[in-house]
Structure 1
Amino acid sequence: MGDTSLTRRRFLAASAAGLGAAALSACGSSDDGKGSGSTTIEWWNITTTQPAKKIWAARAREFEAKNPGVKVKIVTLENEAYKSKMTALTASGKLPDIYHTWGGGVLEQQIDAGLVEDLTSKIAPWSGGFVPASVSAYQFESKTYAVPFDIGAVGFWYNKALFTRAGITTPPTTWAGYLDAVKKLKAAGITPIGLAGKEKWPGMYYWAYLAMRTAGLDAMRKAADSKDFTGPGFVQAGEHLKDLVGLQPFQTGFLGAGYSTPGGQAASVGNGKAAMELMGQWAPSVEASSGKGLGKNLGFFSFPTVDGGAGKLTEVFGGGGGHAVRKGAPQAAVDFLKFFADTEFDKKLVKETGLIPVVKAAGTALVDPNLKAVSTAINESTGFQLYLDQAYAPAVGQEINDSVAALMGGTKSPEAVAKSITQVAKSQ
C-alpha cells in the first residue's frame, strides 16, 4: 500500500443494530457438561453463496473428523447483518471463537479492547507461506491478529456483448471516457450500471476510488491522520460522482436494491440486464449465484484515472478477508485456521469458488483470465488503499457510506459529504 498506516486498516462499516442477550451469550467455546472434554468452537462467517458455503461447511466437518471431541458450530450471515451483530458483540466484550474480519480500524478497535488473540507466535511455523499483501491488513505493531483466506481488489466487471452492442470497442481508462461509455450504453437502450443502493457500501466504492484518483493516496493518508476530508480533492470526488449520477446510469429502483438478493445488483449484471458493476473479486461468483452469470462475456477493467487528478491507474482499492480468534479461545480454533489454510484446500477454493490465492504455493490454481487480471493489478500496483469503511473507525466508515448514499440519492452535496465525514472523524 505504500504506507503502513493505510495497510493496517478495511469492505464494509458496522451498521447499528441490536442483538438479543441469548444470541450474545451463545458465542464462545463450550464443554458438553458431561466431563467428556468435548469442545465446541463457534465460527462466524459471511460466505452465503454457493458453492463456497457448502465447501466451507464440508471443511468444518473434515476438521471434526480429524479432531474427535471438537465440534465446529457455523454461523453464516449476510454482510450487513453480520456487521450489525458483530458491533453488538464487540460492545458486549464477547466475540465468537473464530470470526470473519476485514482488518483495519474495526479490527484495531477490537484489539485495543483486549478482545482479540495475538496469533503471531501461534501461526509462525506455517504463516510464511502466505502472499505478503494478504496478511498486511491484520498486522499491527509487528503483530498478526488474523489469518487471511482472501485477497483482492475492486474494479469494473462488465458485459462484453453489451459493450459491443453499444459500440464501445475498449474499456475506458479515463473518467471522461467512462462517462462517454455510460452515454453510449444508454443511447443503445442498455442500463449501464447495476447498483445496490440500499446497502450503501457498493456506492461508497465510487467515491473512494474517485477520491484516490483526484486527491491521491498521500492526501487520503493525510486526511485520515488530520481527520479533515474537506480538501478540494475530496469535494471534486463528490462532484465527479454527481456527474455520473446525473446521467441516471443505474437500474430502476437502485436505491432500494440489495447486492446479492434476487433482482439486486449482482443479479442485474449476471442476467445481462445491466452492463457493469463496480465490485470486488468475488463479483463473478455472486453474479453466477444470484443470476445466470456471463461466462466468456464477462470482462474486467481498472477504475479510470481522472484528468488533472493526483492518482494513477495502477493504484488499487481493495482488501481481503481473514479469520480472527477471540482472546482466550481454545487451541482448537487456531488448529482449525491452520487446517483451513492448507495449500491443497486453498487451491480448491481458487478453482471452485473464485478466490484469489493467499497461499503462495496455490498460485498455480488460478486460471480464470479475469481473476488473473485482478491478481496482476494487486501484484503490480504502485499503491493500495484499504476499503474506507474498514480502514477507518466504524463511525467514520458508516458516515462515508451514509453520506455517499445521500449524494447518490440527490439529498446531499459534494461539499456536505466532505464536511459530514470530517465532523464525524474529529469526534472520534
Structure 2
Amino acid sequence: MARITRRKLLKLSVTGAVAAQTGGLAAILASGQAPALAQGTTVHWLRWADFVPASDVLLKGQITQECQKATGITLKVETINANDLQSRITSAIQSGTGPDIILALGNWPQLYAESVADASDLAEDIGKDQGGYYEVSKQVATVGGRWIGVPFTVIGTLIAYRKSWFEEIGLKTFPDTWDGLLDACKKLKAKGRPLGQTAGHTFGDAPNWWYPYLWSWGGKEVEADGKTVALNSKDTIESVKFAVGLWHDACDEGGLAWDDTSNNRAFLSGTICATNNGASIYIEAKRKSDTYLTEKGEPMWKDILHARIPKGPGGQFNLGGSQTDMIMGYSKNQKAAQDFLRWFHSKPVFAEWFASQQGYSDGATRMWEKDKVWDADLVLLPFRDVPPLARLAGYAGPPNRKAAEVGTKYIITDLYAKAIQGMPAEAAVKWAYDEIAKVYV
C-alpha cells in the first residue's frame, strides 16, 4: 500500500472539505457568506500592527463581530510590531502551538513552506474570482505549484516629500535621477532638511530602499539561474561608492539606527525633506491635520506629494511588498482558518477593510485596482500602480527560500551600512558576496 505523507493527507482533507461545501467556493466569494461548519471555533490571526491604525480598529471590532455572525467563528486578532513577527513564527513552529494564521511579509513564506498547510484550492479560487494575482504576490506564496499561503495585499512604497521645500530650491518635481537627488538634498541638508532613510535591521524601509537602489545601478544578488552569485560586480561597487557620498552629504546620518517608525516621526516633525515609505505618513498627517503643521502653521498634508525612487543606469524599480497569510501546519483549526479567509476575501467583506486602508495597501489581486478608494485622493493614486512595477528580493533569480534567508539576514542593507561606516566599497561588496555565497551553496 502506497504511503500517504502528512502533506498529501492535509491536501486531500482540505480539498475534500472545500469540494463538499454547499454552493461551491464561487458562491461563497460572491456572497461573503461562509458555511456555518465551524460553530464555536476560535481562529487566532497574528498580524503586524498596521501603519493605518483605523484598519486594526476595524478588524478587532466590526469585522470580528461580522465574522461571528456570518460564520460562527470567534475571531481573535492579535497585532504586534512587524519586526517581532519572525521570532513569533519561529517559536510557534518549534513548539507546535500558536496562532492558526500568521501574516508573513515579503518572501518570508518561502522560509516556512514545510510548516504550513496547503492553501492551493482557496488561493486559486480567490485569484480566479478577482482578476488574477500580481506576480509578486503569486511568486512568494507558491512553491512548485503549491500555494503555501493566501496572498493578502501588496504594500506599495514611494517617496513622500515636502513639495514647498523642493520648490524653494527651484524644483517643481521630485528629482528622478540619483545625481539630481544628491544635488537637491545636499542643498536641503544645508538648510537642516536632509533626506531620511534607514540602514538598519528593520523589516520594511531598509530593504524597500536598498534593494531598488542596488538594482537601479545594475547590481543583483544572483543570476537568473538562481545559483550563481553575481553581487561582486563593477555596477555594485559603483552603487556603494555613490551611496556613501549620498549618505554623508544629503541624508540624516542617524538613519543607521532607525526602524520603520523612525522616518515617519522624523518627517512629521519636520526634520527631513523626504523619505521612501508607504502612504502612512500622508494618511496620518491628514488624519491629524491640527497636529502636524508646516513651519507656517498650515496643515502638513497639503504640502506632501509622492514620487518613485530615482532611476540609475540600470533602471528604476520598487521592491514588491507582498503580504501573505499562512495557515500553520500545527493548527488544529485549519478548516476554520480556511473558512475565515474565504469569508474575509469575499468582495463585500474585503472591501470594508480595503477602504479603511485609504490607499496604503494594494490588493493582491488586480480587481482592487478599480476600487473607488483610488478616486478619493489623487495624492494617493500613484500607489495603485506600484505592484506591476515591482521586483522581488533575490533578483535575477527566483524569490525562493535562499533569497528569503539573504533578506532576513539583512545582507544587502549591511552591504551599504558597512560602507557608510567606513569600510572601503570593494571590501564591503566582497563581504556581502561571501555572505550570500554561504546561503546559495
TM range (shorter): 0.7 to 0.9
- For 1:269, the equivalent position in structure 2 comes to 267
Tell me the matched-pair count.
Answer: 376
Root mean square deviation, CA, Å = 3.1
Question: Which position in structure 2 is the counterpart of 1:82?
Answer: 85
Counterparts of 1:167-178 in structure 2, within 5 Å, are 167-178=170-181
**Structure 2 counterparts to residues 243-262 of structure 1, below 5 A:** 243-250=245-252, 253-260=254-261
Structure 2 residues not aligned, in runs of 5+: 1-37, 293-298
Q: 73-82 vs 356-365, which deviates more? A: 356-365
User: Residues of 2 paired with 1:338 and 1:37: CA distance?
Assistant: 15
The 1:268/1:155 distance shift into structure 2, 3 A limit, reads same
For 2:416 and 2:68, locate their aligned partners in 1 and report how far apart those are by CA, in whole Å.
44
* Match in the other structure for 1:21: none
What whole-Å deviation, never above 9, does each CA across 1:340-377 have from its counterpart, x for those lacking one? 21223333334322322334444222223243212224
Partner of 1:419: 430
Q: Distance in 2 between matches of 1:359 and 1:184?
A: 42
Q: Residue 426 of structure 1: SS of its match in structure 2?
A: helix
Normalising by the residue count of structure 2, what TM-score does the alignment of the two structures yield?
0.75
User: Residue 152 of structure 1 contacts residue 375 of structure 1 at CA under 8 Å; is this kept in 2?
Assistant: no
Q: Choose which of 371, 375, 385 in structure 1 pairs with 2:384.
A: 375
What is the aligned counterpart of 1:406 among 409, 417, 421? 417
- Give the corresponding residue for 1:295: 301
Which amino acid counterpart does residue 66 of structure 2 have in structure 1?
E
Residue matched to 1:63 = 67
CA contact 2:412–2:432 (8 Å) conserved in 1: no
Q: Deviation per CA, 1:115-140: give whole Å up to 9, x if none.
A: 11111123444331154214332122
Could you give the per-residue CA deviations for residues 139-185 of structure 1, whole angstroms, max 9, x where no partner exists? Answer: 22222222223114333111112222333222111111110111221
Counterpart residue number, 1:107: 109
Structure of larger gyration radius: 2
CA distance in 2, matches of 1:156, 1:348: 27
Deviation at residue 214 of structure 1 after TM alignment? 1.3
SS in 1 for 2:165: helix
User: Which residue in 1 is equivalent to 2:154?
Assistant: 151
Q: Which runs of 5+ in 1 are unaligned?
A: 1-35
User: 1:54 deviation in Å?
Assistant: 0.5
Q: Which moved more, 1:160-169 or 1:331-340?
A: 160-169
The aligned counterpart of 2:165 is 162
Q: Cα distance 1:236–1:87, how it changes in 2: closer, same or farther (>3 A)? A: farther
Query: Counterparts of 1:297 and 1:131 in 2: how far apart (Å)?
Result: 36
1:2-401 counterparts in 2 under 5 A? 38-49=40-51, 50-58=53-61, 59-68=63-72, 70-94=73-97, 96-104=99-107, 106-111=108-113, 114-128=114-128, 129-133=130-134, 134-187=137-190, 189-201=191-203, 202-215=205-218, 220-222=222-224, 225-250=227-252, 253-260=254-261, 264-285=262-283, 292=292, 294-306=300-312, 309=313, 311-313=314-316, 315-327=317-329, 329-353=333-357, 354=359, 355-362=361-368, 363-365=370-372, 366-367=374-375, 368-379=377-388, 381=389, 384-387=390-393, 392-395=403-406, 397-400=408-411
Structure 1 residue 85: Cα displacement: 2.3
* Local SS of the residue matching 1:304: coil
Alignment partners' CA distance in 1, 2:179 and 2:103: 38
Q: Percent identity?
A: 18
Quote how far apart the aligned CAs of 1:216 are.
Answer: 5.1
Q: TM-score, normalised by structure 1?
A: 0.77
For the structure 1 residues 84 and 185, does the alpha-carbon distance in structure 2 shift closer, same or farther, using more than 3 Å as the test?
A: same
